[in-house]
């Protein structure tokens, strides 16, 4: 059974959790590397393409981001970094992601083996 109210509230709950653990998620932006020779972890984030990726990499090379406010101040064209992570987590929870950066992939058979 779907819980539409819970589903609609999930992004807000995730954003709060991300802000509460800001240092951990800023570390992701400061250290994210490549997935392959052709793709970077930042590129698989919602609304981050090659241009935003390059902006983030250039700014973090100059100095690591201290927090989300610092990141937004230095990267005015990049969408809200908290929202980007929340949207990526929702995508991963829905099983709609090719790359899982924040949510471990749990398949139905894994659950059956546990329970």
Q: Report pLDDT digits (tens) over 88-103.
A: 999 999 888 899 999 9
pTM for the predicted model, two decimal places:
0.85
Task: Report the distance separating Cα 29 and Cα 18, nearest Å.
Answer: 13
At residue 110, the pLDDT reads 56
**Residues 31-72: pLDDT tens digits?**
999 999 999 999 999 999 999 999 999 999 999 999 999 999
Please, is 79 exposed, middle or buried when counting C-beta atoms within 10 Å of its C-beta (0-12, 13-18, 19+)? middle
Q: Which has the closest alpha carbon to 74: 88, 95, 58, 90?
A: 58
Whether the Cβ atoms of residue 48 and residue 32 lie closer than 8 Å to each other: no
């Amino acid at each position: 059974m779907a819980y539409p109210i819970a589903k609609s509230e999930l992004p807000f709950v995730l954003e709060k959790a991300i802000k509460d653990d800001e240092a951990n998620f800023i570390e992701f932006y400061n250290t994210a590397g490549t997935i392959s020779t052709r793709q970077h972890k930042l590129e698989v984030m919602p609304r981050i393409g090659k241009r935003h990726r390059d902006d983030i990499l250039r700014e973090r090379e100059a100095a690591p981001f201290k927090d989300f406010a610092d990141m937004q101040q230095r990267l005015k064209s990049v969408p809200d970094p908290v929202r980007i992570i929340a949207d990526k987590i929702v995508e991963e929870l829905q099983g709609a992601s090719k790359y899982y950066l924040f949510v471990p992939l749990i398949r139905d058979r894994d659950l059956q083996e546990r329970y």
